[in-house]
Amino acid sequence: LSQDLLDLIELPSETPDGVHIPLYANTGLLSDISPSLRCGAEGVGLYRTEVPFMIRDRFPGEEEQFRIYRQVLEAFAPSPVTVRTLDIGGDKALPYFPVEEENPFLGWRGIRIALDHPEIFLTQVRAILRANAGLDNLQLMLPMISSVNEIDEAAGLVRRAHEELVEEGEQTTYPKIGVMIEVPSAVYQVPAMSKRVDFFSIGSNDLTQYLLAVDRNNAQVSDLYNALHPAVLRAIHQVVVEAHAHQRPVSVCGEMAGDPAAALLLLGMGVDSLSMSSASLLRVKWVLRSFNTEKMQSLLEETWLLEDATAVRALLHNSLDEAG
Ligand code: PEP
Ligand code: MG
């Protein structure tokens, strides 16, 4: 990293016109904690709990999970940590929980597995809620939500875990609950989901894959995978507008949030925070500190006239170049 970027660590993540946009880190490994803190992350916007599950050879029990989650929540307290419940299936396989499917990305993954195996979900939620005791910086997030029924069912299990813990004398509070918007059907259900959740986080990796019908990991079609595709941008914009109409904050936690060009548009749309790998934090902070809100909004307006991702990227790179 250049000295210019390192100098930004201590500076607020604020636009020149004074809008503060928290920049959060995506993590999954305990070893990511100190680099994220060093780069000035204001919390964790996506803690991928499947990562500790993937590097073991059996399901970690409640105690083992509790110790891991506690370390993350403690390291960032009082800053918020968004802990996402287990998101396995698709490309994320557990060696000790084999799932054989012809279409894994359209199959048994994320919240679907959790609801079919409530014992796995309840153990995890108990560990997460216990880890939050006395800290209260937890936000609980559900992956791969495609309908409100899944939210109701999952929230029912969270309530049950919380009640059990209270009966056992644990000092746990009921957490804020949010959902990932990463399946196209979720884009169109923000009003109904707003009645059920406290916040939204857009998973642009999966949302791009599902909107464009392009496998996010297939090199053969990687030219077609582009989060700046006008259809993806319109979907994200709609989510932001509708979530705000229902007083719910929106974050973006897919790779797109860490792309300085894409970040310009997301900020123009009015997203409330961005979460990214810590390696991208300072570059995005530089963008944030270089562009007025009005400028980012007018770039977004120009984008709506463009017809493909190449044109969008060219426009954004032009603006970034002009800014230095
Ligand atoms: C996403 O889909 O954008 C996301 C953040 O989740 P993951 O990359 O873990 O699927
Ligand atoms: Mg995802």
In this predicted model, what pLDDT tens digit does every residue of 46-87 receive, in sequence order? 999 999 999 999 999 999 999 999 999 999 999 999 999 999
| Residue 26: predicted pLDDT | 97
Helix orientation angle between 148-167 and 118-131, rounded to the nearest 10 degrees: 60
Read off the pLDDT band of 3 (50, 70, 90).
confident
CA distance 48 to 316: 30
Residues 83 and 128: beta-carbon distance below 8 Å: yes
pLDDT at 2 over 90: no
**Residue 174 pLDDT greater than 80, yes or no:** yes
CB 74 within 8 Å of CB 135 = yes
- Express as a percent the part of the chain with pLDDT over 90: 94
Please list every protein residue whose CB sits less than 6 Å from any atom of ligand 1: 46, 48, 87, 182, 203-206, 253-254
Residue 202 Cα, ligand 2 centroid: separation in angstroms? Answer: 9
Confidence band of 191 (pLDDT split at 50, 70, 90):
very high
Q: Say how many Å lie between the first and final Cα of the chain, rounded.
A: 16
CA distance 49 to 61: 13
Atom of ligand 1 nearest to the CA of 90: 10
- What does the pLDDT average to over 84-102? 93
* pTM greater than 0.95: yes
Best CA proximity match to 151, nearest among 119, 120, 181:
181
Go through the chain and tell me how many residues it has: 324
Q: Is the pLDDT of residue 89 over 90?
A: yes
CB contact burial 163-185 (16+ within 10 A = b; e otherwise) = eebeeeeeebeebebbbbbbbee
Query: In the predicted model, what is the mean pLDDT of residues 102-114?
Result: 96
What is the distance between the alpha carbons of residues 174 and 159, in angstroms, rounded to a whole number? 8
ipTM above 0.90, yes or no: yes
**pLDDT recorded at residue 91:** 84
Average pLDDT on 181-185 reads 98
**Atom number of ligand 1 nearest to Cα 48:** 9
Strand partners, 67: none
Distance of CA 89 to the CA centre of its chain: 17
Q: Can you give the pLDDT at residue 88?
A: 96
pLDDT attached to residue 123 = 98
Residues with CB under 5 A from ligand 2 (ion): 182, 203, 206
pLDDT at 45 over 80: yes
pLDDT of residue 4: 86
Name the maximum alpha-carbon separation found in the chain. 60
Q: Residue 119 class from Cβ within 10 Å (0-12 exposed, 13-18 middle, 19+ buried)?
A: exposed
Interval 215-243: pLDDT, tens: 999 999 999 999 999 999 999 999 999 99
| Residue nearest to ligand 1 atom 8, measured at CA | 205
Q: How far apart are CA 40 and CA 8, in angstroms?
A: 9
Protein residue with least CA distance to atom 1, ligand 1: 203
